[in-house]
A and B are shown apart, each in its own frame.
Chain A
Amino acid sequence: MLKVSGLRAAYGPVEALQGVDVDVDAGEIVALIGANGAGKSTLLMTICGAPRARSGRIEFDGRDITRLPTFEIVRLGIAQVPEGRRVFPHMTVLENLQIGATPAEDSYFDDDLDRVFAMFPILEERRHQSGGTLSGGEQQVLAIARALMSRPRLLLLDEPSLGLAPLVMKRIFEIIKEINESQEVTIFLVEQNAYHALRLADRGYVMANGRIVLKGTGAELLADEGVRKAYLEGG
């Protein structure tokens, strides 16, 4: 479904991605782990067109999207939950969801809203509260729900568990699984929390210094000595 090959991207002189190859097949959950500054967020952002790729190719459903502007990429069916959630703080939960629905057809809105509220009852409760007054976990849920309102086929999640209490974190991972199974949304997940991410994922990639250094199924990576040393023990 998503095919990234030889991707390079940079912020000015800083080469953040130095030739990255990643494949995500329809229906999968794929995790990308790696240390801080490895270039994980940059990869997700580059898939969405900002920053632009210096070279390499990004294909979505066989179509080259490397040069498309962000909003057109999103309209093809890729949704991103960006790092740090980025809910609209002064707009209500409902308004946040409405904006998320921008790429989708208007006629779906009511059904989609019901679906999202059924999945996340807390959002229905808080629908008139402004985004900035929600707790961290609620904001994360809102950010995910907002992305779902665009009816994506591929959902990119950037560190959804960041800064959340263990219990809330667990719930977020359950939600991701649910979305993948019941809504048939393919998921490409970036995480620092390697253990949870790899347990959840069908396959995983390990990134360091702008390159993919290891790949395999979730179980394989969890068992890998290097991965254990670098990302699991003491973490």
Chain B
Amino acid sequence: MAVTTLPAQRTLDVPAVLKECGLAAFVAFALAAPMVGLETLPLTGGLGINTRFGAVAYAAVLVFFGRLGFALLRAGYPVPVLIASLVFAAVLISLLLTGADQILPFKSLILNWFIALLAVVITVRAAWALHRPTAEMAARERENVMDRVGIAVLRGARWLGPLAIAVAIALPFLPFADRRFLDLAILVMTYVMLGWGLNIVVGLAGLLDLGYVAFYAVGAYSFALLALHFDLGFWVSLPLAGLMAAGAGVLLGFPVLRLRGDYLAIVTLGFGEMIRIILVNWYSFTNGPDGLSGIPRPSFFGFPFTRRPAEGTMSFHQLFDVDFASIQRIIFLYYVILVLALVTNMFTLRLRKLPLGRAWEALREDEVACRSLGINPTNTKLTAFGIGAMFAGIAGSFFATRQGFISPESFTFIESAIILSIVVLGGMGSQIGVVVAAILLIGMPEWFRELGQFRMLAFGAGMVLIMIWRPRGLLAHRDPTIRLNRDGDFEAPG
């Protein structure tokens, strides 16, 4: 590159840096004071307040020095940063390892480890800056590295995909896979499926849908009502619920698909809320806020997972002549959602190579051009909406049968927001990105469960970090759907 690089400037504007760090510390203080500093305690006969101002001060000081570290790195003084952060990380980690962390202001083990990790990150960055003098170059380098990771992941998709599937299949039999872990895996997999479904609508067709949870709800309720009133089994209700959700998608699509961008987003948002409010208020049909319970559990193709099956039927453990264990049902559920998710994925990958999928992508890029090339935009959008809704409906059925109980509370706007975050943060249109983002956004907060209510803060922090580092999503890189080799034959992309 023919860019002249200026000599690394070592200028430290002390007042400006102090002001910057003070401001950051103040923001941390202002946020932490009410959220961390005050804790309500249920006392006999009222509510007491516990103060934790030590923790607030500690948080503000940490932010001050963290910011100072970054400022010094930027100004070209890596050595003091390296030493200070190294010492801090070493002290913190040794305290944690020796179990002496009780003296720290934060009582959460995970949080302390997280702070230690941040210190290590600053140390590494300082060392990196020593190695490569200008911070700007380091930033560009990092961007390049992440882009290359994105491309490499896509290139490697040929073996990475099967590898991930192999891991997913083996998962229930890994030594650490206890019931809690499997429950989490099922949850993550449900969101992967929802993410893949929404990816059709948002990532491929470019229709910003903020009410995706509506179709999830329609699927769950269709499934539950079919199963409860008509005594249909899991495997019959599942596709029916999918079809009903698809119908709801098309029905919504008709009036709203003339709208674009922001307007479409707002209308879909409204639709999501409408469905929830109908579920709450149509008491005679949906049982309102009390929800529906007693939704039948799935059977192993007719063989139930019960210890003592009803007279004349055989249960799963009798069929395979193994001892009864409740985990068998969990493992089965895990495989069901795995298969459903994989079907969603293969369906999408296949569609992308067909004219319909191409039309979706073209529509996302330029609707006017599409019209003048003979694409019927209404039908194209409707199919995207309908197919996306269908997968949400199927995932909703799975949710209903897994929980055995559903109520409108499971289908609030925050669900739509989470699913959309998974798609956007994964890198719109990237199938593997959805998996990574679902693991990060659903799995991580579960690990942070110890933080209690502050879990959503971890969720928010994760989103902000991704937005700063990868504004176009973790694995944003579009792969063409076909290539033509030298002889003019078509080949699938590698």
Contacts and interface: CB of A to CB of B under 8 A. Distances in A.
B369 A70 contact: no
Contact of B374 (A71, A82, A95, A98): A71
A88 interface: yes
Interface in B441-494: 478, 480-484, 488
B482 A82 contact: no
Interface string B353-386: 0010011011001101111111111000000000
A74 B359 contact: no
B184 to A, nearest CB: 35
Nearest to B480: A92
Interface in A55-102: 69-71, 74-75, 79-80, 82, 86-92, 94-95, 98-100, 102
A171 interface: no
Given A94-B484, A99-B358, A128-B483, A86 B368 contact: yes
B375 A102 contact: yes
A50 interface: yes
A186 interface: no
Contacts of A27: none
B484 A86 contact: no
Contact of B372 (A70, A91, A95, A130): A70
Contacts of A88: 361-362, 365-366, 369
A48 B374 CA distance: 10
Contacts of B482: 94-95, 98
Contacts of A128: 480, 483-484
Interface in A14-64: 48, 50
A87 B376 CA distance: 18
A90 B370 CA distance: 14
A128 B482 CA distance: 9
A54 to B, nearest CB: 20
Interface string B194-222: 00000000000000000000000000000
A103 interface: yes
Contacts of B478: 90, 130
A208 B370 CA distance: 29
A8 interface: no
- Counting contact residues on chain B (CB < 8 A from A), the size range is 20 to 34
Contacts of B374: 71, 74-75, 102-103, 150
A204 B207 CA distance: 42
B371 A71 contact: yes
Residue with the greatest number of chain B CB neighbours at <10 A, chosen from A75, A87, A95, A103: A95
Contacts of A203: none
B480 A94 contact: yes
A100 B374 CA distance: 8
Contact of B365 (A80, A89, A103): A89
A95 B369 contact: no
A50 B358 CA distance: 23
Interface string B164-200: 0000000000000000000000000000000000000
Nearest to A149: B373
Interface string A158-195: 00000000000000000000000000000000000000
Nearest to B367: A86
B376 A95 contact: no
A102 B371 contact: no
A135 to B, nearest CB: 19
A70 B372 CA distance: 6
Contacts of A100: 373
Contacts of B369: 82, 86-88
B387 to A, nearest CB: 19
A91 B365 contact: yes
A98 B488 CA distance: 15
A126 B482 CA distance: 14
A94 B489 CA distance: 13
Contact of B481 (A95, A103, A147): A95
Interface in B258-302: none
B362 A99 contact: yes
Contact of B373 (A91, A95, A150): A150
Nearest to B376: A71
A71 B483 contact: no
Contacts of B488: 114
Given A48-B371, A82-B368, A88-B365, 8 more contacts: A87-B369, A88-B366, A91-B365, A100-B373, A114-B488, A128-B484, A150-B373, A150-B374
17 contacts: A69-B376, A70-B371, A70-B372, A74-B372, A75-B374, A80-B372, A86-B368, A89-B365, A91-B361, A91-B362, A94-B482, A99-B359, A99-B370, A100-B373, A102-B374, A114-B488, A147-B373
7 closest A-B pairs (Cβ-Cβ)?
A103-B374, A74-B374, A86-B369, A88-B365, A70-B371, A80-B372, A71-B376
Interface of B: 355, 358-359, 361-362, 365-366, 368-377, 478, 480-484, 488
Interface of A: 48, 50, 69-71, 74-75, 79-80, 82, 86-92, 94-95, 98-100, 102-103, 114, 127-128, 130, 146-147, 150
